Amino acid sequence: MAGTNFVDYVKINCRSGKGGAGSVHLFRDKNTAKGGPDGGDGGRGGHIIIRGNKQLWTLLHLKYKKHIKAEHGGPGQGGLRHGANGKDNIIEVPLGTIAKDAESGEILFEITTDGEEKVLLPGGRGGLGNDHFKSSTNQTPRFAQPGEDGKDEWKILELKVLADVGLVGFPNAGKSTLLSVVSAAKPEIANYPFTTLVPNLGIVSYREHRSFIMADIPGIIEGAHSGKGIGLRFLRHIERNSLLLFLVPADSDDIHQEYKILLNELQQYNPELLDKTRILAISKSDMLDDELKSEIALDLPDVPYLYISSIAQQGLQELKDLLWTSMQT
């Protein structure tokens, strides 16, 4: 997923269709000079609809499409003929997309399943034809309802990556390397901060043809919750992960302290993130002998932990076993 192609936020102007006007018509034929009202109703204006598509991973296709319009409804006609409904405009989005009102910030709904449809902006109702207004005192009404206006509003679509496991760690913790080793994902890897500029997803194969999805979230730095670095932009992606895998390298000055800083950033951003299951993996552990591992273990946080090395392929199966077991509980 190229950095330039990953878009997780768009603001779009939506215009739903206006309802068609009801018809003012009196029945006439060669045998009837003064028939009753038979004006049909106007058609409904087109909706703006959001539909989930599991084949999409980004909102890129909406980045330069700022104005979304639906068709107007057709007018009613004589003979009680209903006007055509305006054509809906269906916007396909990745699973995990949240729709918000741009003015109030209110969350309207989220799309989580393939093919799921939600009306983002309803079209105007069609007007009633004059047939609806006949009565004993007015048998030939010469009026009908106009169609209801459509709506013109700004909406925000925001993507939260759907994954089972979210990787949490500072830049250069080895998250991209781990993802590339345990899955078929090919994230950019280099020895400098912020190599990962977009969330990367990988499908991790497990025993007996099972699998789960792991997301490499761009590196968090201290102060990310207040807008420092690039972590704030991507912290929301962690909200959708069922399990958080904290990755701290073995050569860190203080593994426990680094874990606490990461945990604090999540808590400051959204305290509910602390309710998720957490596992600590100490990466780059091929440089450690058993004595050093025992010494490090004396000052580790009270969460399940294990030592791994993506390069040396050490502890990876044990890690997948622990992740799988934790997701099932």
Ramachandran angles phi, psi of 50, nearest 5°: -105, 130
Q: Which CATH superfamily is domain 1-159 in?
A: GTP1/OBG domain (2.70.210.12)
Given a cut of 50, whether residue 230 has pLDDT beyond it is: no
Q: Which residues of 16-31 are buried (b: 16+ CB within 10 A; e: fewer)?
A: bbbbbbbbbbbbeeee
Expressed in angstroms, the distance from the first to the final Cα of the chain is 31
Task: Identify any residues that bridge with 111 across adjacent strands, giving them in sequence order.
Answer: 97
Instruction: Quote the radius of gyration of the chain (alpha carbons, Å).
Output: 29
Given a cut of 60, whether residue 3 has pLDDT beyond it is: no
Averaged pLDDT for residues 286-313: 89
CB atoms within 10 A of CB 34: 9
> How far apart are alpha carbons 133 and 21 in whole angstroms?
14
pLDDT at 222: 54
- Comparing 26-35, 193-202, 301-310, which segment has the lowest mean pLDDT? 193-202
Averaged pLDDT for residues 183-198: 49
Question: Which pLDDT tens digit goes with each residue over 107-158?
Answer: 999 999 999 999 999 999 999 999 999 998 998 999 999 999 999 999 999 9
- Comparing 144-153, 231-240, 317-326, which segment has the lowest mean pLDDT? 231-240
User: Starting from the edge strand earliest in sequence, which strands make up the sheet with 305-307, in order?
Assistant: 200-205, 211-216, 165-168, 243-249, 277-283, 305-307
Given a cut of 80, whether residue 195 has pLDDT beyond it is: no
Given a cut of 50, whether residue 192 has pLDDT beyond it is: no
pLDDT at 190: 39
Q: How far is CA 195 from CA 119, 192, 217, 253, in A?
A: 38, 6, 11, 22
Which CATH number does 165-328 carry? 3.40.50.300
CB atoms within 10 A of CB 149: 15
Given a cut of 50, whether residue 191 has pLDDT beyond it is: no
Given a cut of 80, whether residue 186 has pLDDT beyond it is: no
Given a cut of 70, whether residue 88 has pLDDT beyond it is: yes
Beta strands 97-101; 67-69: pairing state: unpaired
Q: Taking Cα atoms as reference points, which of 262, 259, 309 lies closest to residue 280?
A: 259
pLDDT at 223: 54
Give pTM, 2 decimals. Answer: 0.69
CB atoms within 10 A of CB 209: 6
Q: Where are the domains of the chain?
A: 1-159, 165-328
Question: Which pLDDT tens digit goes with each residue over 28-48?
Answer: 887 877 788 999 999 999 999
Given a cut of 90, whether residue 303 has pLDDT beyond it is: yes
- Comparing 81-90, 143-152, 259-268, which segment has the lowest mean pLDDT? 259-268
- Comparing 76-80, 143-147, 218-222, 292-296, which segment has the lowest mean pLDDT? 218-222
Question: Which pLDDT tens digit goes with each residue over 265-277?
Answer: 888 878 888 889 9
Given a cut of 70, whether residue 255 has pLDDT beyond it is: yes
Question: Which pLDDT tens digit goes with each residue over 151-182?
Answer: 999 999 998 877 789 888 887 778 888 888 88
Given a cut of 80, whether residue 200 has pLDDT beyond it is: no
CB 167 within 8 A of CB 179: yes
